[in-house]
Amino acid sequence: MSQKSYLDRKKYKVKEVIQNYLSLEKRGRNFWAICPFHDDTRASLSVSEEKNIFKCFSCGVTGDAISFVMKKENIPFNEAVFKAHTLLKFPIEQLSSIKFNSKDYLFKQQLIKFNNFVSEFFINSLNSEEGGEALQYLKEERKLSDFLIQKFKIGFSPAGEKLMNSIEQIRKISEEFKFISDEFLLKTGIFSKSSGTSEKIFPIFQNRIVFPIFSQNQEIIGFTSRRLGNSNLSEAKYIHSRETLLFKKANLLYNLPEINRVSEDSFIYLFEGIFDLLSFQLISPESICFALLGSEMSDNGFRLLTKLPSKKLVIIMDNDQAGRNAALKLFQKMLKYELNSHILPIDYGNNKDLSELYCSGSLIQLPKPVDYIEWIQGNWRDLWKKEEKYITDIISVNQIVHFLLDGLFQRDQRTQKIFLFSDIKYDFAFLQLSRIFSLYDSIEKTQFESEIIERAKQKYIEAINVKAILPQEDSIEIEIASLRRELSTPKDLTGEFSKIVEIIQKLRESNRDLQLISQKLSDWETPFLFQYFENYQLGFSEKEIPFFLELKEVIANFRSDLIVQKTKYLSLQEGEEIEVSSMKDFFELYYSLTEKTIRKALAFIKTWSTPEFPEKKQIIEQIDQDLKDVKQKYASLICRELEELKYLT
């Protein structure tokens, strides 16, 4: 006997299920809706409560609640039963007779049900007395409307045991939630276990504003949270759910249900932050908006965008150097997936992002989206600070050109040959190659420089032509070999040097260490660390950029502390041996990071296919000298000055 034959399908009320997907209008004895199964322009889909069926009088599709879910979500029978079951809030235990493909599927459905419960708890907490400060922050500081707060189901997670108490209560009184266990909670991505003998389970969101993350089908699959205002600055500003079977942060976007509204002519707006998206929704409610969940998006995230009817992506990043560089990095990745990049050239004034601009009360007139090449032509001088005399106009534009070309082409590190990525079509590659090289038209060039640029362009044209005759498997093998080399090389510097911030904070807590450094080792700093990062930011990964920006701020605060302690009296006892281990750890990491930052910039420069530029040769020569200076200063500081400091008295 099949699963379908002994399942009571009549209990799944078709109207109650379909109203979760479509807007229904009562006319006569039936309900009517726009049919989702064909290009319907008027409400052709009829839903009969009496017969418990639906039927489209235009395309002819008909069935019950289960068949509607199967067709709408393109899922098999057993999964459709589970989905209808959870939509109608029936106990999961009633489905013991249904066979599922794996335990993972059952867990995913339980997790969605659990997330809905937790989301309701967060919403209720926001509207309680305890959530008053959070609600005030959202409405008065962020200027969000009640409608928007409710639409996006924004909530508040209070500190303490309240969420755990609510979970324990619902587990006791409701058959629907009997599946919740301590093991289950630790797999939800929003709970952790304390260390020590108690091993107590607790929510990772404490006193935070919480945003549910929805799937394309409007299921809550995870959460992200922001600390409340500027309180608890020692805490991370944003904390996301840990990864689960449902929640893979880099593969997702905020506001995914909007995918269902995308048409062939739509502009799709992509934001760096959730509050920017929410502010834009208040300014332009009909626009289709998504936001990144973090600083980067994976290949799977971009593949999601390629499946949309429209390929017109509009980027809105923060109004600072990091935001502009983030836009460039997105332009590069979008080239690989044949997406048409634009940017919204908003006049931010002195505001750092769109949300701050909106909250300032300024009158905002949204400009039309601008093509990415046109935007770069008008803004390339402002993309980063020039802190080196050899960073001329042609070198600046050259950086951008070759950075963008890496979105279309790959270089075999062994032979230095250039190849077009296997999935990119020839016509798209030719068009974008021509447009990218047109960036050189933004600057004055000598005849010699123009000839160099033309020769470089011809190499890329040859690579496109070779792709036309190169067997597909050869091209794929080149990409696999390139990927293997990439995986064998450390992707970023953050892992190796993540402790440097912690060590600096430890030094800042010791007035004695600050006095010793400011008075006896005042020449400890080198300009090269942030100079090379600033000048060659395009050569650094999405993880490295926020790391360097945070480190720059931390060192600026450290420098301020040193200035304060420079005039303080340094008390030393005769014969005292000074403890310098923390200082030594810091200087070793600081100078090692400086050297590797310079070398990473050098590696980036060497990827440019314009080696004949005189400025490029001068830059490489200068880098060699800077590396020698760094090594010499490090040796002097660590091997001589720091050792002398130990026996200063």
| Per-residue pLDDT tens over the stretch 394-423 | 888 988 999 999 999 987 766 767 889 888
The H or E element spanning position 618 is: helix 614-635
Is residue 345 domain-resident? yes
Higher pLDDT, 86 or 94: 86
346 and 404 co-located in one domain: no
Confidence of residue 299 (pLDDT cuts 50, 70, 90): confident
pTM of the model: 0.74
Q: What phi, psi does 489 have (nearest 5°)?
A: -105, 135
Residues 399 and 481 in one domain: yes
560 shares a domain with 416: no
pLDDT for res 202: 94
> Within a domain: residue 1?
no
CB 272 within 8 A of CB 223: no
> Are residues 473 and 499 part of one domain?
no
Give the range among 108-112, 279-283, 412-416, 615-619 with minimum mean pLDDT: 412-416
Separation CA 169–CA 204 (nearest Å) = 20
User: Any alpha helices (H) in 129-219, and if so which ranges?
Assistant: 132-136, 146-151, 162-173, 182-186
Count of structural domains, the chain: 5
Confidence label for 568 from pLDDT (cuts 50, 70 and 90): confident
pLDDT per residue as tens digits for the range 429-457: 999 999 999 999 999 988 988 988 998 99
What is the band of 428 on the pLDDT scale with cuts at 50, 70, 90? Answer: very high
Q: What is the mean pLDDT of residues 327-349?
A: 93
Q: What is the DSSP letter of 369?
A: P
User: What local confidence, expressed as pLDDT, does residue 486 receive?
Assistant: 47
Residue 328 covered by a domain: yes
Task: Say yes or no to pLDDT of 106 above 50.
Answer: yes
- Same-domain pairing of 514 and 638: yes
Q: Does 229 share its domain with 341?
A: no
Domain of residue 207 covers 103-247
Q: How many CB atoms lie within 10 A of CB 301?
A: 20
Residue 488 has a pLDDT of: 41
DSSP assignment of 289-353 equals EEE-SSS---HHHHHHHHTSS--EEEEE--SSHHHHHHHHHHHHHHHHTT-EEEE-----TT-SS
pLDDT for res 520: 81
Q: What is the mean pLDDT of the chain?
A: 85
Q: Residues 525, 596: one domain?
A: yes
CB 294 within 8 A of CB 240: yes
pLDDT confidence band for 369 (50 / 70 / 90): very high
Q: Write the pLDDT tens digit of every residue in 114-168.
A: 999 999 999 999 999 999 999 999 999 999 999 999 999 999 999 999 999 999 9
Are 191 and 202 spatial neighbours (Cβ–Cβ below 8 Å)? yes
- Claim to verify: residue 461 and residue 480 sit in the same structural domain: yes
Question: What confidence score (pLDDT) does residue 648 get?
Answer: 52
Residues 78 and 115 both lie in one domain: no
User: Does 2 score more than 50 pLDDT?
Assistant: no
In angstroms, rounded to a whole number, what is the distance separating the alpha carbons of residues 162 and 205? Answer: 12
Domain boundary among 70, 92, 114: 92
Between CA 534 and CA 536 the distance in angstroms is 6
Residue 612's pLDDT is: 63
pLDDT of the residue at 572: 60
- Report which of 286, 284, 253 is spatially closest to residue 270, judged by C-alpha positions: 253
387 in a domain, yes or no?
Answer: no
What pLDDT sits at residue 353? 93
In a domain, 2, yes or no: no
Other beta carbons within 10 Å of 12: 22
Answer whether residue 208 is part of any domain.
yes
Contact 197, 235 (CB under 8 A): no
